[in-house]
Amino acid sequence: MKFGKELAAQMVPEWQAAYMDYSSLKNFLKEIHALKQKSRQADAPTSLQQALTLYRGFSGLIQRQNQRATSFVDHDIENQAILVDSMQGNGSGKYVTTFLMAAEEGAEYEHEFFRMLDSELSKVDKFYRSKVKEVVAEAEILTKQMDAFIAFRIKAEKVEKKFDVSKMIPTNAVQGGRAGSNKHNDAKQSNDSLQEIDHEDNPKNPAASIRLASQEVLNRVRLNRDIQVPFPAAKVNCVSMNKQTQMNFTKDNLTKIQKQLKQAFIEYYYKLRLLKNYSFLNVLAFSKIMKKYDKITSRRAAKHYMRTVDDSYIGSADEVTKLMERVEATFIKHFSNSNRSKGMNNLRPKSKKERHIISFCTGFFVGCTAALTLALILIIHARDILNKEGRAQYMESMFPLYSLFGFVVLHMLVYTGNLYLWRRCRINYTFIFGFKQGTGLGFREVLLFSFGLATLALTSVISNLDMEMDPKTGDYKALTELLPLALVMLVMILLLCPFNILYRSSRFFLLTTLFHCICAPLYKVRFQDFFLADQLTSEVQAFRSLEYYICHYGWGDYKLRQNTCKSNDVFNTFYFIIAVIPYWSRLLQCVRRFYDEKDPMQGYNGLKYFLTIVAVCTRTAYGLDRGDSWKTLAWTFSAMAAIFGTYWDLVIDWGLLQRKSRNRWLRDKLLVPYKSVYFAAMVLNVLLRFAWLQTVLNFHLSLHRETLTAIVASLEIIRRGIWNFFRLENEHLNNVGKFRAFKSVPLPFNYDEDEDRSD
């Protein structure tokens, strides 16, 4: 693999603009190479000049070391092409390279190349310096958190009652320990994070490895209960509680604190690894580009310039390496029970392995789905089922049961396409969604589950395709009629299975996010929470199908294959409620975000979902009543909700329709190289947004009502899939603009001075 592709594959997507622009410099070198080629062709040596070299004096096969070294140095100084000047001392943070071969032909191109190279070096050096400053500041915070954690552990485990420390430490060591445990030492330890994060590990002082940590820090901290807390009562109670009540020294609190700090150290170590890799890749990029320059121009400028790169901050600073060593030592001791292998396995990022069994099983289920679909078509044609008397009864009672699986499979296939395109466009969806390293499902795994479910659903449909009841009993076969219910129960069991099979971490992540959506606004809203809630708003018809399952099997209609649910007032009432729940959850999430962020845009977003709730209710009422008044209300509110929703999708969620953008009516940065894709997506979004027209205009189509409803619901799922890609693209570009590549991890302790500073 060429280095350019390797650099693009390994760089942090959110930091792409901060890396050395290797491709631009490489293209500029190609222009210099083309210019050199023309010059060499014009000044090519004649055959006579080439022949004269045969009569030049012979220098010998063996030369003395000192003579060769001297001649090399003299030749190197004589032919030195550049002079690099570092302006770090005056605070400007820039590098200026003077090209010494200005008299040669094409020197202006090489001078421009070094100007670009200096600009890139200054850029990466400045960025690296700022990021190192951030991690050093975070190291100080983690140091203070560890101080409080160790003191809390002593209190919770009551260590002082288990042994007498004075008997284990010599007298002089005890005195030294007492002298070192005053307030000044605490302040010094908090500020000296670069040298020691865990100041228990001091090999020069054997007493320090036994002396209990100072517990005075507990007087200045309290447990941070603002993490995942219902609002607003919990916050008020948290403020009114005194510190002693907040610092409840129980084993349960100790376990929670240790878990939060462990996750914080893992995320912090991940930052350090990315920074170290950033430094390595950029230094290597400068080395590669200078080697290409020397090869093209036949100069020896690489070693002079690389000496400057090595002396720069990005090439010489070792703070990140020291911090990584200290984090490893601290994590292994305090969070891995001194088991280095276990600790490093937790700290190092887990790479996801591609398994051939996934591809094989996916291909198998794709073949089964295709074969079962063809068999279903042939059976319908051979039995002439479309003209049977039981066709209408089947569509009324059985089609809503199986349409549930159609909606779910279609949504999973659309999500599979999203994952594939996000990966191709280098959108860091794992970071945006907050997936744990190495546990997020890729498009192959989702595709496997999609076609696996499709295979089971089609098998159930073919097994339950009879149109006539038993003439003796007057009932349909109970076994085949229960197949849809059995399949739903199987899916629920697999989803809730507590055993470590079938991607348990991903299943639990989905269930946790779903729980946060249901409990809105009690939990702080994260990206994955409102993203999933938006997906649920496009699955309203699937939720209504679940309601129909309860009615159909709960009231015994499955025995006679009847649909008496819509004549029941309880069912019709919940028919409204089920459709409103996803939008209501999304509305409450907007309220919570407005409360937390004080952002008026969240209030407008909540208004959008309120209009959608009214539109859904009026359309549902019109579908049940068919009155003119309901039709007028359905038209009015549906039009308002569709126009508002379309504008919000295009302008706010996608960041498009910007008149002053470099790409007119789009945005400045686009990840898809073809602008027509964005315009086509905008047009499709408008058309699919207004698919509700069929429920109000009553188009006379030669389709059953259930079929038409399923088609409209499927179009909404497809619209959501298109929305997903551009929504995540816009979120990714926002992260890129802010160089935001790390997620914030809540810390367990809150210092009093931190509160004062935030206030």
Three-state secondary structure of 67-96: HHHHHHHHHHHHCCCEEEEECCCCCCCCEE
Query: Of 302, 451, 242, 275, nearest to 364 (Cα)?
Result: 451
Q: On the CB side of 469, how many CA atoms lie within 13 Å of its CA?
A: 15
Q: What residues are paired with 99 via a beta bridge? A: 82
* Torsion angle defined by CA atoms of residues 146, 151, 155 and 158, in that order, rounded to the nearest 10 degrees: 100
Q: Return the axis-axis angle of helices 319-335 and 340-347, rounded to nearest 10°.
A: 120
pLDDT score for 646: 94
Q: Which residue has the tokens 């579908």?
A: 623
Rounded to whole angstroms, the Cα distance separating 210 from 243 reads 29
Rounded to whole angstroms, the Cα distance separating 214 from 237 reads 29
pLDDT score for 1: 63
The alpha-helical segments, DSSP class H, found in 317-428 are 319-335, 340-347, 356-383, 391-397, 399-424
pLDDT score for 167: 46
- Give the residues of the chain that fall short of pLDDT 70: 1, 40-81, 85, 87-93, 102-103, 105-106, 159-213, 225-247, 467-476, 695-701, 752-759
> Which DSSP state fits 218?
G
pLDDT score for 747: 87
pLDDT score for 637: 92
Rounded to whole angstroms, the Cα distance separating 19 from 727 reads 25
Query: Of 257, 255, 277, nearest to 265 (Cα)?
Result: 257
Would you say the pTM of this structure is higher than 0.75?
yes
